[in-house]
Amino acid sequence: MKYLVISDMHGNWAALRTVLRKVRRKRFDAILVLGDLVGYGAAPNQVVEAIRGLTGRVVTVRGNHDKVVSGVDSGDTFNEAALIAARWTSEHLTHQNLQMVHDLPQGPVPVDEGLSICHGAPIDEDKYLFSDRDAATVFRGWHEPVTFFGHTHVTSLFSFDPRRREIDVRALSGEGTLDLEDGVQYLLNPGSIGQPRDRDPRASYMIYDAVRRRVRWFRLEYPVEETQQRILEAGLPVMLANRLAAGI
């Protein structure tokens, strides 16, 4: 079984389009979408329609921006720029696309035996996983061997070896490959397609081969200026455009 894993598109059509073109000749048994299709970016309809149009098996969960945009959550915890973008997105999504975003399921969602997906954390869909302490909280109550999550916009890995009682935390920069160990539990973040925050502005995604138990992560350059121009033309906060070029 081979999976394409994507997350946090955030209305950035230029970035998602670039990734989908790159992988279009590859065969996947499923595409895993970890939430936040919308928010921040100014091309939400294009992103939602692209996800709706994916062929084959697609497993998706909702993100926190998806919830606010579709009215599931009030957005009281959002900063001003995020809330402005969420309200703009709510007004500009078509009825059909808004309904799809509203209906996205809450994570965690099982994909196949030993594999699940969520947005923030499997114990709390809005929780950010940054540290070994964050991971320890999850590992105490969650025992799925492999879980993919998003939300932080940082390509990363958390693992727990119950034999040695050790938690390993790694930031995964650039591109690379990791073979998963038997008996070790993993939380894996593919990073963000639409708004990376690890000071690398390139779109980020993962491919997981469950037979080989191998994870590969990739970065792709995309026309950042196209996304920036859309944001500015929409009248959204300038900082939402500026941060894309710096990957912050």
Q: Judging by beta carbons within 10 Å of its beta carbon (0-12, 13-18, 19+), is residue 153 exposed, middle or buried?
A: buried
Task: Report the pLDDT averaged over residues 21-32.
Answer: 97
Share of the chain above pLDDT 90, in %: 98
For residue 92, count CB atoms less than 10 angstroms from its CB and return exposed for 0-12, middle for 13-18, buried for 19 or more. middle
Question: CA 237 to CA 222: how far, in whole Å?
Answer: 21
Quote the crossing angle between the two packed helices 224-233 and 13-23, to the nearest 10°: 150
Quick check: helix, strand or coil at residue 37? coil
Q: What is the pLDDT of residues 84-103, one digit of tens each?
A: 999 999 999 999 999 999 99
* Confidence check: pLDDT of 164 > 90: no
DSSP string, 88-154: HHHHHS-HHHHHHHHHPPPSPEEEETTEEE-SSBTTBTT----SHHHHHHHHHH---SEEE--SS-S
The DSSP-derived string for 138-157 is HHHH---SEEE--SS-SEEE
Residue 238 confidence (pLDDT): 98
Segment 30-38 shows an average pLDDT of 98
Dihedral sign for Cα atoms in the order 19, 20, 25, 28: positive
Residue ranges and CATH numbers for the domains of the chain are: 2-246 (3.60.21.10)
In this predicted model, what pLDDT tens digit does every residue of 139-162 receive, in sequence order?
Answer: 999 999 999 999 999 999 999 999
Torsion, Cα of 106, 111, 114, 117 (10° steps): -40
Q: Which amino acid is at 6?
A: I
Please tell me the predicted confidence (pLDDT) of residue 25: 93
pTM, two decimal places: 0.97
> pLDDT tens digit string along 189-212?
999 999 999 999 999 999 999 999
